């Protein structure tokens, strides 16, 4: 069974750094793109970026480029999303999701990680 299991909820202050994880199992990690999606009450679902763990090819949404970093560890079958300096507006639920073979849809999703940024 394909599974994506994300790290737990985080509470951070503005300006702090954060790295959340997405551990995968049940398929060959290096053969599928993994994406990160943000969900907020006001803006719905937004795509942040994707990574191909096979060669670490990474693409970012222009809306988030420069503010986030996506990475992957092949030895751990795990993808990561990180921030070097959080803002209050980063508060959201973040999902990792595997992209389907056509690289057009998100066919399996993690359970989500709630990130709360508050001073």
Partner 1 sequence: SFELTQPPSVSVSPGQTARITCSGDALAKQYTYWYQQKAGQAPVLVIYKDTERPSGIPDRFSGSTSGTIVTLTISGVQAEDEADYFCQSVDSSGPFYVFGPGTKVTVL
Using CB under 8 A as the criterion, which residues of the chain lie in contact with partner 1 when the complex forms? 35, 37, 44-47, 50, 59, 61, 95, 97, 100, 102-112
Query: Closer to partner 1 at the Cβ: 44 or 119?
Result: 44
Least CB distance from residue 117 to partner 1, whole Å?
21
With beta carbons less than 8 A apart as the criterion, state whether 93 and 114 touch. Answer: yes
CA distances from 84 to 1, 38, 58 (A): 34, 17, 18
CB of 18 to partner 1, least distance (A): 20
CB of 79 to partner 1, least distance (A): 15
**Coil/strand/helix, residue 29:** helix
Joined together, the tokens standing for residue 27 give 């398929």
């Amino acid at each position: 069974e394909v599974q994506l299991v994300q790290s737990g909820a985080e509470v951070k202050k503005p300006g702090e750094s954060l790295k959340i994880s997405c551990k995968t199992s049940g398929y060959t990690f290096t053969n599928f793109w993994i994406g990160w999606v943000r969900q907020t009450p006001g803006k719905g679902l937004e795509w942040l970026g994707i990574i191909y763990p096979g060669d670490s090819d990474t693409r970012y949404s222009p809306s988030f480029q420069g503010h986030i970093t996506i990475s992957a560890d092949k030895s751990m079958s795990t993808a990561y999303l990180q921030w070097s300096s959080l803002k209050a507006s980063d508060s959201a639920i973040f999902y990792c999701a595997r992209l389907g073979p056509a690289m057009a849809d998100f066919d399996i999703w993690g359970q989500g990680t709630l990130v709360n940024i508050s001073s």
